[in-house]
């Protein structure tokens, strides 16, 4: 990674897009000090992330959901797993049950407290992992390709909760290589070879065919349709991002 | 020539609520020279079905016929089955274990009746078809490769036996669109050589692009089966099984309900483009 | 693989299920002591009656309790035969080369076999009525005093917890890898010992690689969730032991005392 500068605002939903090895995972691991800064400066929620002394405040402020649903559980039952983070931050024992309940409720997993993680579906596992993060009440939630190992149903479960979280005011950074998942973000940051290629609203970044191609990404399907039609002499009023928009434009 | 299952019944007695897979009398067919997609929600039994087809799970009742022979028969030699049927599991990169790429790809050839010459030729062919330069990677350690390369290598390891039938479970999971495109290209090439291919996938776009036939399963039973176009045309029944249709088919459907005359057989991306162009040239737009 | 795995936890509401898990584990240890001291027919009779009572209280059928003993049957028979034939006695019934069959030898063989059977039955009753999680927290509380001699009790408990959590996933993955390699022509069943050991490599290597990867990712996830050693964590709840459990412990202690006496 070299010379990355970016700024994520409070309450923003930012999608980090890029092919494997583009540096996106490395970048976000600095946000909660899983990797320490070699050079430059990084401020997360007013906390200086360059020193060692603020690590725990930093991690409490920014929670992270990882890619593999099977590899983030520490306890044999859901309740204990969600409580794990709370125990790490020395939350008093009597407060734990209510906070665990609240977090499970937020991800729609109430009633699963006593289930063993391996008996859950992929989408449910990721939701429990998210509950474990939310229980600590972080301001920032980072998703590291959290949907990439899920089936379509699991993926839409997780995406709809991400949207809810965004509406409730959390700052969200999601890494993905599914370009369709970026469409509803406030901002898309395109990365390649350890650098930010461009950053902007989805309607600007995701419709830039050349730039996406140079970063090894394929534009969303509606964008491809727009350009392919253009080549065949059919001009749409503007470039659509979603299937609905595309249908709308085609009907005009 | 084909793989046919006849009224397969399979029950899981172990407790695995996440993926409770049962088969309630499934009869399906995988034909030589065709790509058959098996679709359905997680836990509908599709993974169980392909494992029964491959002789990796034994059904409670029913028969599995491979080229007219019942593989469940006591007298049947499973080695012969291994020589003509390849299975690519989900995340196949997990199965790599040898010290060199060439050894790993050649692992499946060990027990086959073949000269060393032929074995080497097969290994070369498999590596080449998966986009490797055999001279360059042959001596490398599989573990040093990138994630995408490992996936291709693992598939090469299955292809090395030059299987007559190939069964794949979610082979494009986790691949980017370019990787997916290359993979579809590979499947089409194998199909042209006469390989009978069964592919389990959630990815309806990929199924639309390459599959000749689709089998849709729900709750341990086959609910639909037929040509991909015919199955995807009946969007309601497909949705009932919890399966998506391709984006092209969805858009074509939306356009049709708004009175635009694109064909209901539009399931592939290229078809969608040409249909839209055709309709707009007619002055409809 | 896990079909009919003996001693697997069966959820329930019986007397033994509701008993405090620490008391159960402690009672188990006391009963092991009792087994060590058992050596007379009367003693075995007491133990078997007591086990039958416990099994009944746990709502288990005789069949299910004995199934694990039966599974080890050949092994138990072997132990009995070895003991009977190799015991050096003053007064053998039958003697041939290094073998000598004697009454004492047979008694010793019976002793060993009966003790092993008792321990198997006991652990079966324990694990069928106590979930892995309860067992873990019981181990943790029993390890707790050992902190004072420098044993990392919390860490051990954490490791146990993670291990228990990962077992089903790793079993599932092993099964998948095994099938994948069989599909590629691997043969796990045939051949001589050496060949068979070599044949296991296609399974063992991938499982190791994937377990290391798992451990790596898990460590990262734990770190991200604020883990910094088991000491800096909210203390576990101190549960009081109920009267029923105390009574149970006393009963076990009595049985143990009886065994020491007779």
Of A241-250, B116-125, C30-39, which range is least confident?
A: C30-39
**Residues C48 and C63 grouped into a single domain:** yes
How many other C-beta atoms are found inside a 10 Å radius of the C-beta of residue A43? 10
Of B16-25, B259-268, C70-79, which range is least confident?
A: B16-25
pLDDT at B205 over 90: yes
**Residues C166 and C92 grouped into a single domain:** no
Check B94 against C176: CB less than 8 A apart.
yes
pTM of the shown model:
0.85
pLDDT at C240 over 90: no
pLDDT at C1 over 60: no
Dihedral of CA atoms A125, A129, A132, A133 in degrees, nearest 10, equals -150
Sign of CA dihedral C77, C79, C82, C87: negative
Per-domain boundaries in chain B: 246-285
**Residues C21 and C37 grouped into a single domain:** yes
Angle formed by the axes of helices B269-281 and A221-231, to 10°?
A: 50
Check B176 against A149: CB less than 8 A apart.
no
What does the alpha-carbon distance between residue C113 and residue C82 come to, in Å, rounded to a whole number?
Answer: 11
- Within a domain: C19: yes
Q: Count the alpha carbons within 13 Å of B41 in the hemisphere toward its beta carbon.
A: 19
pLDDT tens by residue, C205-229:
999 999 999 999 999 999 999 998 8
pLDDT at C5 over 70: no
Non-local CB neighbours of A175 within 8 Å, separated by 6+ positions: A15, A16, A24, A25, A28, A142, A143, A144, A145
Question: Which residue in C3, C185, C205 is closest to B13 by CB distance?
Answer: C3
Non-local CB neighbours of B158 within 8 Å, separated by 6+ positions: B86, B87, B88, B92, B108, B166, C183, C184
- Within a domain: C6: no
| C2 touches B: beta carbon within 8 Å | yes
**Residues C141 and C157 grouped into a single domain:** no
| C40 touches A: beta carbon within 8 Å | no
pLDDT at B234 over 60: yes
**Residues C21 and C140 grouped into a single domain:** yes
Check A92 against C225: CB less than 8 A apart.
no
Question: Which residue in A148, A228, A247 is closest to B254 by CB distance?
Answer: A247
* CA-based nearest residue in chain B for residue A149: B174
**Residues C180 and C211 grouped into a single domain:** yes
Res A117: pLDDT = 87
What does the alpha-carbon distance between residue A110 and residue B247 come to, in Å, rounded to a whole number?
Answer: 34
DSSP reduced 3-state for B86: strand
How many other C-beta atoms are found inside a 10 Å radius of the C-beta of residue C239? 11
Measured CA angle at C15 (ends C136, C128), to 5 deg: 45
Check B244 against A218: CB less than 8 A apart.
no
Check A56 against C228: CB less than 8 A apart.
yes
Check B18 against A152: CB less than 8 A apart.
no
What does the alpha-carbon distance between residue A31 and residue A28 come to, in Å, rounded to a whole number?
Answer: 5
By the 8 A CB rule, do C140 and C236 touch? yes
**Residues C23 and C134 grouped into a single domain:** yes
Average pLDDT over residues B126-141: 94
Contacts of A116 in chain C (CB under 8 A): 165, 168
pLDDT at B107 over 50: yes
By the 8 A CB rule, do A44 and A7 touch? no
Burial of C74 (0-12, 13-18, 19+ CB in 10 A): exposed
Average pLDDT over residues B215-225: 95
Give Cα separations from A10 to A31, A45, A63, B232 (angstroms).
14, 8, 15, 44
Average pLDDT, chain B: 91
**Residues C176 and C81 grouped into a single domain:** no
Token pair 């972080």: residue: A138
Burial of C229 (0-12, 13-18, 19+ CB in 10 A): exposed
Res B113: pLDDT = 85
What does the alpha-carbon distance between residue A2 and residue B261 come to, in Å, rounded to a whole number?
Answer: 52
Res A196: pLDDT = 92
**Residues C106 and C141 grouped into a single domain:** yes
DSSP reduced 3-state for B176: coil
* CA-based nearest residue in chain B for residue C210: B94
pLDDT tens by residue, C73-107:
888 888 888 888 877 777 777 777 777 788 888 88
Subunits with 3+ C-beta pairs closer than 8 A to A = B, C
What does the alpha-carbon distance between residue B25 and residue C161 come to, in Å, rounded to a whole number?
Answer: 41
| C200 touches B: beta carbon within 8 Å | no
Res C220: pLDDT = 93
Res C103: pLDDT = 81
Burial of C79 (0-12, 13-18, 19+ CB in 10 A): middle
Contacts of C202 in chain B (CB under 8 A): 95, 97, 107
Domain count, chain C: 2
- Within a domain: C3: no
Which span out of B252-256, C52-56, C246-250 was modeled with the highest average pLDDT?
Answer: B252-256
Measured CA angle at B140 (ends B137, B141), to 5 deg: 135
- Which residues of chain A carry a pLDDT beneath 70? none
Question: Which residue in B54, B109, B110 is closest to C183 by CB distance?
Answer: B54
**Residues C123 and C158 grouped into a single domain:** no
Check C184 against B157: CB less than 8 A apart.
yes
What does the alpha-carbon distance between residue B158 and residue B167 come to, in Å, rounded to a whole number?
Answer: 10
Contacts of C228 in chain A (CB under 8 A): 56, 88
- Within a domain: C99: yes
**Residues C129 and C219 grouped into a single domain:** no
What is the percent of chain C with per-residue pLDDT over 90, rounded to a whole number? 14
Long-range CB pairs of C170-174 (<8 Å, 24+ gap) are C170/C207, C170/C211, C170/C214, C171/C1, C171/C2, C172/A118, C172/B16, C173/B94, C173/C207, C173/C210, C174/C1, C174/C203, C174/C207
Domains, chain A, with CATH or none:
13-193 (3.40.50.300)
- Within a domain: C22: yes
Q: Which domain holds residue C174?
A: 153-224
**Residues C37 and C140 grouped into a single domain:** yes
By the 8 A CB rule, do B129 and B77 touch? no
* CA-based nearest residue in chain B for residue C201: B97
pLDDT at B21 over 70: no
B207–chain A nearest CA distance, Å: 14
What does the alpha-carbon distance between residue B102 and residue C93 come to, in Å, rounded to a whole number?
Answer: 64
């Amino acid at each position: 990674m070299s010379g990355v500068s970016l700024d994520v605002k409070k309450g923003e939903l930012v999608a980090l897009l890029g092919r494997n090895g583009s540096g996106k995972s490395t970048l976000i691991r600095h946000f909660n000090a899983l990797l320490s800064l070699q050079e430059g400066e990084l401020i997360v929620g007013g906390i200086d992330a360059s020193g060692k002394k603020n690590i725990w405040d930093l991690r409490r402020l920014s929670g992270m959901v990882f890619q593999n649903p099977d590899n983030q559980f520490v306890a044999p039952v859901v309740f204990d797993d969600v409580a794990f983070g709370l125990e790490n931050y020395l939350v008093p024992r009597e407060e734990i049950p209510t906070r665990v309940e609240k977090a499970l409720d937020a991800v729609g997993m109430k009633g699963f407290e006593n289930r063993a993680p391996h008996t859950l579906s992929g989408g449910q596992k990721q939701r429990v992992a998210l509950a474990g993060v939310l229980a600590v009440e972080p301001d920032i939630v980072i998703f590291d390709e959290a949907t990439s190992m899920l089936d379509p149903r699991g993926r839409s479960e997780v995406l709809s909760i991400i949207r809810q979280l965004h509406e409730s005011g959390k700052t969200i950074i999601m890494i993905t290589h599914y370009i369709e998942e970026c469409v509803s973000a406030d901002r898309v940051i395109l990365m390649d070879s350890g650098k930010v290629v461009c950053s902007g609203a989805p309607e600007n970044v995701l419709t830039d065919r050349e730039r996406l191609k140079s970063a090894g990404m394929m534009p969303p399907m509606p964008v491809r349709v727009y350009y392919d039609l253009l080549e065949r002499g059919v001009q749409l009023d503007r470039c659509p991002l979603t299937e609905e928009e595309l249908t709308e434009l085609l009907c005009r | 020539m084909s793989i046919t299952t006849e009224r397969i019944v399979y029950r899981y007695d172990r407790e695995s609520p996440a993926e409770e897979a049962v088969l309630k009398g499934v009869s399906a067919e995988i034909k030589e020279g065709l790509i058959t997609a098996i679709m359905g929600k997680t836990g509908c039994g599709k993974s169980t079905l392909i494992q029964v087809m491959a002789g990796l799970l034994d059904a409670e009742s029913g028969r599995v016929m491979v080229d007219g022979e019942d593989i469940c028969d006591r007298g049947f030699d499973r080695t012969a089955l291994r020589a003509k049927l390849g299975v690519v599991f989900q995340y196949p990169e997990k199965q790599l274990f040898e010290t060199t790429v060439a050894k790993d790809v050649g692992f499946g050839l060990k027990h086959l009746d073949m000269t060393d010459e032929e074995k080497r030729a097969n290994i070369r062919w498999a590596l080449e078809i998966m986009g490797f330069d055999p001279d360059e990677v042959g001596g490398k350690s599989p573990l040093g490769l990138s994630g995408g390369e490992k996936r291709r290598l693992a598939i090469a390891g299955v292809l090395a036996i030059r299987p007559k039938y190939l069964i794949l479970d979610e082979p494009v999971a986790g691949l980017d669109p370019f990787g997916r495109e290359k993979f579809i290209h590979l499947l089409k090439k194998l199909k042209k050589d006469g390989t009978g291919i069964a592919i389990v996938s959630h990815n309806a776009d990929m199924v639309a692009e390459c599959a000749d036939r689709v089998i849709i399963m729900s709750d341990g039973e086959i609910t639909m089966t037929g040509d991909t176009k015919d199955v995807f045309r009946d969007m309601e029944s497909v949705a009932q099984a919890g399966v998506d249709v391709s984006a092209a088919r969805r858009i074509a459907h939306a356009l049709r309900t708004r009175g635009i005359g694109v064909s209901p057989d539009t399931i592939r991306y290229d078809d969608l483009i040409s249909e839209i162009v055709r309709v707009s040239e007619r002055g409809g737009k | 693989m896990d079909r009919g795995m003996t001693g697997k936890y069966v959820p329930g509401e019986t007397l033994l299920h509701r008993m405090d898990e620490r008391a159960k584990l402690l009672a188990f240890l006391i009963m092991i002591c009792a087994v060590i001291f058992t050596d007379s027919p009367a003693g075995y009779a007491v133990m078997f009656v007591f086990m039958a009572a416990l099994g009944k209280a746990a709502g288990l059928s005789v069949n299910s309790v004995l199934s694990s003993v039966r599974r080890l049957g050949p092994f138990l028979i072997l132990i009995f035969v070895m003991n009977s034939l190799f015991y050096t006695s003053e007064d053998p019934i039958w003697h041939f080369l290094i073998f000598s069959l004697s009454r004492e030898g047979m008694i010793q063989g019976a002793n060993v076999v009966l003790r092993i059977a008792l321990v198997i039955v006991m652990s079966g009753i324990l694990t069928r009525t106590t979930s892995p999680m309860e067992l873990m927290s019981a181990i943790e509380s029993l390890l707790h005093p050992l902190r004072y001699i420098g044993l990392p009790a919390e860490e051990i408990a954490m490791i146990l917890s993670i291990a228990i959590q990962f077992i089903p996933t790793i079993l599932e993955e092993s099964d998948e890898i095994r099938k994948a390699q069989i599909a590629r022509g691997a043969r796990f069943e045939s051949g001589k010992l050496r060949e068979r050991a070599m044949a296991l490599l296609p399974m063992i290597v991938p499982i190791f690689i994937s377990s290391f990867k798992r451990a790596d990712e898990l460590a990262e996830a734990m770190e991200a969730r604020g883990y910094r050693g088991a000491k800096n964590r909210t203390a576990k709840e101190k549960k009081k032991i109920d009267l029923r459990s105390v009574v149970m412990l006393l009963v076990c202690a009595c049985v143990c005392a009886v065994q020491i006496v007779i």
